[in-house]
Every structure is written in C-alpha cells, then in structure tokens.
C-alpha cells in the first residue's frame, strides 16, 4: 500500500497508526525559526514531528505544536510526536527519568513514539526494559530503536518482551540498507529513514536529475517518493515553508519499477552520519 496523501498512515505491529511522512528537526536550533517551521508543517498538513533529546530543541518543538494546535484547530490525537533517549541516559532508571524530562520540555502528556537513539553496547538492553515499562504503563503509544543493525536487533530481541515497532536509520539512494530492510520486514519492524536527502548531497545527481525532469519534479521529491514506494517512513528536514510544502508534494506522481531500480542501483553503502558499529559518543 503506497501512501496517497500526507495524512496516510502505516499500521505498526501493535496496531498504532503512524504517518508515512513527517518533519525532521535535526540541527534546527531552538528558537523562533524552529517554532515557525513546526507550525508551517502542521498548517500544511503534516501530522508527524520527529525530534530527540540530543537535538536540544524539544522545548521549541513543543511550543510549535501547541501554537499550531490552537491556531489551526488540530487535536493532539491527530499528531504523531517522536523523541529519542540519548546515550548518556541509557539505563533503566535513567531512561525513565529522561522520558519525563522530554515530556516536560515538549509540554506534552505522552509521546506517540519513543526511540533508543544509538545502540550503545551493553547499555541498550536496560534502556529497552525502561521503554517496555513506559509502553506497558500506557505512557507511550509505540517504542522503537534508531541506528540499529541486524545484530543489534537480534541482541535486543533475545530478552525483549516487546519487539521494536520502528527502526529509524540513515537511508537514502547511496545507502539503501536492503539487507536491514528485508530483515525488519520479516520481523514486522517498520523502517524509517533519517537524512533521506543525504543532507543535500544528492540534489545534483545526474540520474536523479534525469528522473526528476521526466516527472517535472525536484530531485528531493523523487527521492522521497522512492522511499514511500519502498514502504519506508520518511522525515525530511526543512525550516522554510515553501520547501516544507514542496517536500510533501509527492503524492501526485509515481516512479516506474525501472526508475525505482535505477535509484536502488545508486547504492554505495555511503554514510553521512556515524557508523552504528563504530561510534564513540
């Protein structure tokens, strides 16, 4: 099932509906620009907002959400808000405390999705136990992980009572993560792409340019459409309203199978972010 509009959702394995398309706010500083970009996204039909404790902008995201709800007559139930626990807080009690801090900063009563941000060896299992507690207590609608490779997921699921609903990973045409996608599909774990536009590095790629021109679309729109047709949830970042609108204008065209394959073939296992098997933070 391919998303037909901006409010279309995928059903996570616990029955929770998550929008296929959302706004990411990585590297957007807390302040007016952030508040306005969150409001612009919600005003223009976005219902999913993704932040993280380490971004240092949960306060502004919360303000943008509350102002948008008041101004555009959107209810909290219509929105899907994600945040992530940072590495320094990975432990049972410390993760529970980090969740409370995140809610306080956002000014919300609950999160729709809470993720472990990075698979810190020897620490993520205890953090996962805390996420399971939050989930079982009804404090969060869904729980998941970010930047987990297959072996991290296998380690986690050995002792887990609840299987992750989401794995949010760096994913774009030069890092297609095919093996990981196949594994997560088998496990019923929804893949979500961060940095879907490779932080702008793909926006003059000749193959993507050719496909974009054929459809009279931007390269960004082609990449985001490619995500959706692969059944990948995607959260492009932008702070400018015209770009927020443009990014989401991907529901009125379709890439052919051969175009999808040509984009798949651009894979070079190239990362713009850290390697989940080799990071030191």
> In whole angstroms, what is the distance from residue 23 CA to residue 238 CA?
8
Return the closest-CA partner of residue 108 out of 157, 163, 149, 51.
51
Q: Classify domain 9-264 by CATH number.
A: 3.20.20.100
DSSP states of 68-131 as a string? Answer: HHHHHT--GGG-EEEEEE-GGG-SHHHHHHHHHHHHHHHT-S-EEEEEE-S--TTTHHHHHHHH
What pLDDT is recorded for position 33? Answer: 96
Domain locations along the chain: 9-264
Q: Tens-of-pLDDT digits for all 281 residues of the chain? A: 689 999 999 999 999 999 999 999 999 999 999 999 999 999 999 999 999 999 999 999 999 999 999 999 999 999 999 999 999 999 999 999 999 999 999 999 999 999 999 999 999 999 999 999 999 999 999 999 999 999 999 999 999 999 999 999 999 999 999 999 999 999 999 999 999 999 999 999 999 999 999 999 999 999 999 999 999 999 999 999 999 999 999 999 999 999 999 999 999 999 999 999 999 99
Q: Assess whether 110 carries a catalytic annotation.
A: no
pTM above 0.85, yes or no: yes
In angstroms, how far is the first alpha carbon of the chain from the final one? 38
In b/e form, how buried is each residue of 177-213, taking b as 16+ CB within 10 angstroms?
beebbebbeebebbbbbbbbbbeeebeebebbeebbe
What pLDDT is recorded for position 2? Answer: 82
What pLDDT is recorded for position 1? Answer: 67
> In whole angstroms, what is the distance from residue 53 CA to residue 71 CA?
26
| Contact in structure between 94 and 63 (CB atoms under 8 Å) | no
Q: Which position among 55, 99, 114, 135 bears the catalytic label? A: 55
């Amino acid at each position: 099932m391919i998303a037909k509009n901006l409010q279309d959702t995928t059903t996570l394995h616990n029955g929770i509906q998550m929008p296929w398309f959302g706004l990411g706010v990585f590297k957007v500083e807390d302040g007016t620009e952030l508040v306005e970009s969150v409001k612009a996204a919600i005003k223009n039909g976005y219902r999913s907002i993704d932040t993280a404790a380490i971004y240092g902008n949960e306060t502004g995201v919360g303000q943008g959400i509350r102002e948008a709800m008041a101004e555009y007559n959107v209810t909290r139930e219509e929105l899907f808000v994600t945040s992530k626990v940072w590495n320094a807080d990975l432990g049972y009690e410390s993760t529970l405390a980090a969740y409370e801090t995140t809610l306080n900063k956002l000014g919300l009563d609950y999160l729709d999705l809470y993720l472990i941000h990075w698979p810190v060896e020897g620490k993520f299992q205890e953090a996962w136990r805390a996420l399971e507690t939050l989930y079982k207590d009804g404090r969060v609608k869904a729980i998941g992980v970010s930047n987990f490779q297959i072996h991290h997921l296998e380690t986690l699921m050995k002792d887990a009572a609840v299987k992750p609903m989401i794995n949010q990973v760096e994913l774009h045409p030069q890092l297609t993560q095919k093996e990981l996608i196949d594994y997560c599909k088998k496990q019923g774990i929804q893949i979500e792409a961060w940095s879907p536009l490779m932080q702008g590095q793909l926006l003059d790629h000749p193959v993507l340019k050719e496909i974009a021109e054929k459809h009279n679309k931007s390269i960004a729109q082609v990449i985001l459409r490619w995500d959706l047709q692969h059944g990948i949830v995607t959260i492009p970042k932008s702070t400018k309203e015209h770009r927020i609108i443009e990014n989401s204008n991907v529901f009125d065209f379709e890439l052919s199978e051969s175009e999808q394959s040509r984009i798949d073939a651009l894979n070079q296992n190239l990362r713009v972010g850290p390697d989940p098997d080799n990071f030191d933070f």
